[in-house]
Structure 1
Amino acid sequence: MASTDMRDGLKCSICLSTSTDPVMLRCGHNFCRVCIDRVLDTQDESGVYSCPDCREQFQERPALMRNLALRKIMENFRHTKPHQKVIFCTYCVDSPVPAVRSCLHCEASLCEKHLRAHSKSPEHVLSDPSTSMEKRKCSVHKKILEYYCTEDAACICVSCSLAGEHQGHRVEMLDKVSEKKKEKLRNIFQKLTTKREKTKEKVRSLEERWRKAQETAAKEAERVTALCTDIRRRVDDLEKKVLSEISRQEKEESQSLSALIHQLEIKKDELSRKMRQIEELCNMTDPLTVLQEPDTGDLCDPEEEEGDKDTRGHVKPLHDGDDLDVAVISETLSTLCDVITGIRRGIYVAGSSEILMDVNTAANNVHVADNLKTAIWTRKNENRPETTKRFMCNQVMSRRGFTSGRHYWDVEGSRSGEWMVGMCYSRIDKRGRQSYIGYNHKSWSLWRYNNQYSVIHDSEVIQLPDKISSDRVRIHLDYEAGQLSFYELCDPIRHLHTFTSTFTEPLYAAIYVYESCATIFEDWLCNWP
């Protein structure tokens, strides 16, 4: 009865079946996720959402919260075996008494009391209480199944073995065969247990990677937000500065032009006065009066005045110069380039220009170009002195190492031959197979061979599935995050692989070439995902 009540309590009121993936609304009622999603979808058109049970309304589509406790109860309920049917003693007629054993020979179930009085002869085979004792007997001879025919894989009675269709077949006792099967099942169970533990470990590992990915995404989002906020602040400050400069120049120009206009107005009035005076003289008919007027030297043409000419005798313009000093405004705006440079340096601590090869580490069959950015495999021995820093294999390391921050550089390799790029500690072995980058625990590499990429660390080679379309790759190091990533510089840029580790020493760039060459090229302003 209690089991039935519990089952009813676990039902979804929408589909009237036991809830699957139960979710809960804010009002506390639980439903199957699929069922409640369908109900809310139908309510989208009206924009009014309500609980199917209590009819509580929500202004917005309610968020669905997983009910983990109810989910656990349901899982336990599903895995709980139903109560086995109680089998009563065949001989207790007056009052039913539960049986403890069943006799296959008598085809009867026995309680403790009747079991003590039961026959102990061999033909009376006892088993757990059962109501289907007929299944324990041979359907042909009606005798107890005691043997197992290994040839026909069948349970048989003694008559089947002696005179029946299994005569002459190899047979074994049921108990012995059962133990063999149990042992086999135990081995399978152990293997399944081991596989389950490995699967659980993989799940935990993936969950940890998921958690780290979420943390990294959160940090990156925070960093980008801070960077964009800083960009907006700098641009706003620059805008205010430029507008302030324009306003200042406009004010100065207005004052200057206002003064000039005032002077010209005075000059215009003076010219008008002189014009009227000359006009009056010209209109006089009496020659004596015209000649008796004061000296008219001040009535000369204003364009001929000495004060209005330059040193070459040319008349000067009324206002010399541009309206606004655009050069100053442009110079102020040029600081926007500094903002952009700061943005790039906020994204990348170091560019490819800082990666130079160390000839002192180059093997004698690796030629390093004068710019220290190209490594070329050569048959000719470079005859460099042998030191503890020099590789014996076809490799070379960078001059500087990185102990913190984010760094990246791009490498272009040849289409022929094979080459590897990556990073290593300075303590990497310099001779033997263990000195190749990636073939030890002190280095990580990307290997190109036969138009295929592979990544290598601690001698574990992982072949990447996709074919390559570009000869250029990008290496990106985030030292604090413990991540070394490789990208193919195609369009768009394609992520190839990311190594995750805890870096404990300075990391140096490293290149391996064989019948090939590789160049660190300066293109740190190219598009980046």
Structure 2
Amino acid sequence: MMAQAGVVLDRDQFNCSICLDVLKDPVTIPCGHSYCSDCIQDYWDQDDYLGVFVCPQCRQNFSPRPALARSTMLADVVEKFKKTGLQDASTTSTASTQCLAEADDVECDVCAGRKNKAVRSCLVCLASYCDLHVQPHYESAAFKKHKLVSASKKLQDTICPRHDKLLEVYCRTDRQCICYLCLTDEHRGHDTVLAEQEIQLQQRQLSDMKQSSHLRIQLREKEAQELRQAIFSLIRSARTASEESDNIFTELIRSIELKRFEVRELIKAQEKMAISQAEQLMDKIQKEITELKKNEVELDKLSHTEDHIHFLQSCQSLQAPPVLSALPSVNVDPNLTFSPVMAAVSDFKVLLQEVCQGGFVNIYEKVRNVVIVSSSDAAAQTDTTQSDAASAVQIDAALGELI
């Protein structure tokens, strides 16, 4: 086991941190790090116009461009290491356990032939690696400062399209990610910060937005509960009012049966209208709750993304949370009843009885005063009196029936 562990350690020490393969024609730069001759030459050729050359691992600057000399001793050690064949055996054994990339998977940039599924992406190397080829980033000190994120197909989005450098700065003036060279060009004098600082700021703002959204949801849910209680109370009160109105109207005379029916229908209509208004308001509140929850899910999903550039770019398109609409006044009294209506019905009954009594007495009196012939003889008077008495009995009977 120790021998095998030693082989793994040697393999990591002899890898080029640029191409991630065993060193070819190794050279050592002034800071002490070694690379393939072609890899470091190509890497520095990109910065040749700047006149400042950086070590890909420790980021130490050199100016002028250092002269490169072949590291003879390291080349001999690497050559002997290749002859052992242990590297190929280790690679073959590990590769057999890898998961081949499918159509929608991110492919490993190092695998030859059929590529394995990448599990991590490096923002410094701008490459994606499978479980096997990502190991040097975990085991070798050369990759200590490299930033690993979940495998992503959007690595090119982290490169400045103008200067071909890593986007490590955020311009608050133009609200976009830029590289260090952009600071001396079109973004000179702008309000800029490191991308990491802006990420932390955006994360705090995102957390505040989530908390605010959560509080708004709680507020709307409380209002929705109060509205449900009001509807239940109104339904219960309307049922009671209908029953009581039936009891009251059954005591009234048949001549006002139509009025009893009209009052009952009036209560039901008011109940229906009030519930309809409450349900419309409930639907509005539920839609706002759904929208707020949807926004919270988007915010939560965005807050957990590991692709910083995608995060910053997505934050720019974030819309302010929807403003809570003003709600009309809602009566949430749990004791809401139709008692005032019942009182009015009772008053109407008393008033109706008084009106009927007075009205029919007046009618009765008026009817008795309606005469066609005023007879002066006793016989005629007697007949008239008997006739009037019969008519009075009929009217009294009708009046008693109504009352």
TM-score by length of 1: 0.30
Rg larger in structure:
1
Taking CA–CA contacts closer than 8 Å with sequence separation of 6 or more, which of the two structures ends up with the larger relative contact order?
Answer: 2
